[in-house]
Amino acid sequence: MHINWHLRELNLKIVYYGPALSGKTTNLEQIYARVDASHRSDLVSLKTHEDRTLFFDFLQLELGRINNLTPKIHLYTVPGQSYYEASRRLVLRGADGVVFVADSSPEKANANIVAWRDMETHLASFDLAIDQIPVVLQCNKQDIYGALPPAQIRQFLHVVQVPSLPAIANAGEGVFDTLKMITSSVITQLQRQTTVVQGEA
């Protein structure tokens, strides 16, 4: 989070995390394609020759003013492949909120669990527990045969309290709902902290 009171800008960092090929980059591509060019940056993608994320994808969105502050949302994805663990940790650094993009295929259940634990470990390395940062669970690929419903995915990840929603990211479904949910959670949380400080004063 970075607030520039001179420019009255509120800059937020939101990271899309999840197992390989779960649809993290697809989320950003859909947002990029559907947002007016005057309100977004170019989509930066550091990819391998095989078109897989090497370091991160990045996209900035600029919203209209909210109570005289202009929110700028910086969206990042992490590389999902297992050997990019160190890079995932770096991208997660300084995140204000996380979207965990789960793959709803039954055969990817274990990959989701491993990625979730991996995320918890990295957050812990920054002295953050999973309940200390806003997280939204996006259950992607709901259109595939036998897709697990969000409630079941929450159950096997042991994250019953984490808000979740279904998505078919390559068709754009659930992409903006996810973005709205995580952005609202982060801003609400920032304000809640302020309220606590004032209450204590």
- 85 is an interface residue for another protein by CB under 8 A: no
73 - beta bridge partners?
12, 61
How far apart, in whole angstroms, are the C-alpha atoms of residue 56 and residue 8? 28
Among 30, 79, 96, 157, the residue binding another protein under the rule CB under 8 A is 96
Taking contact as CB under 8 A, which single stretch among the options 16-24, 113-121, 130-138, 142-150 is the one that binds another protein? 130-138
Q: Quickly count: other Cβ atoms within 10 Å of residue 189's Cβ.
A: 15
The closest of 14, 12, 24, 13 to 115, measured between CA atoms, is 24
Identify the residue whose tokens are 């991160």.
Answer: 56
- 67 is an interface residue for another protein by CB under 8 A: yes
The closest of 146, 145, 163 to 154, measured between CA atoms, is 163
Site for another protein in 162-191 (CB under 8 A): 176, 179-180, 183-184, 186-191
* Residue number, 51 or 68, with CB nearest to another protein: 68
Among 124, 131, 143, 155, the residue binding another protein under the rule CB under 8 A is 131
Among 81, 87, 152, 170, the residue binding another protein under the rule CB under 8 A is 87
